[in-house]
Amino acid sequence: MVILRLMEEITSYPNGIRWSPPPEGLFKLNYDGAVNCNSLKVSAGGVVRDSHGNFVIGFTTTPDSCTINIAELWASTD
């Protein structure tokens, strides 16, 4: 039940912004990349969900040092 509670916290924000599902029969990819400005360590990842919000697949990657824009690109192409 901890996972379900965590998912509720992630998908519902106090300001009303929520994840919106794709149209029926399609999938949605959400991705992000991040760079630690001090160490220049980079990570990127994403998750694919179906039109019911069900998890399909997720991924993470740790490319070499790069800018935040490149980290975002890594996440979108991995």
25: left (phi over 0), alpha (psi -120 to 50) or beta: left
In a domain? residue 10: no
Question: Would the pTM count as exceeding 0.75?
Answer: no
pLDDT at 10: 54
Residue 13 has pLDDT above 80, yes or no: no
Would 68 be classed as within a structural domain? Answer: yes
Summarize pLDDT for 35-53 with one digit per residue, the tens: 787 877 888 888 999 999 9
- How many domains, the chain? 1
Q: How confident is the model at residue 70 (pLDDT cuts 50, 70, 90)?
A: low
**What is the pLDDT at residue 36?**
80
41 occurs within a structural domain: yes
Tens-digit pLDDT profile for residues 16-32:
667 889 999 999 999 88
49 closest CA partner among 73, 8, 20? 20
In which domain, by residue range, is 49 found?
A: 19-77
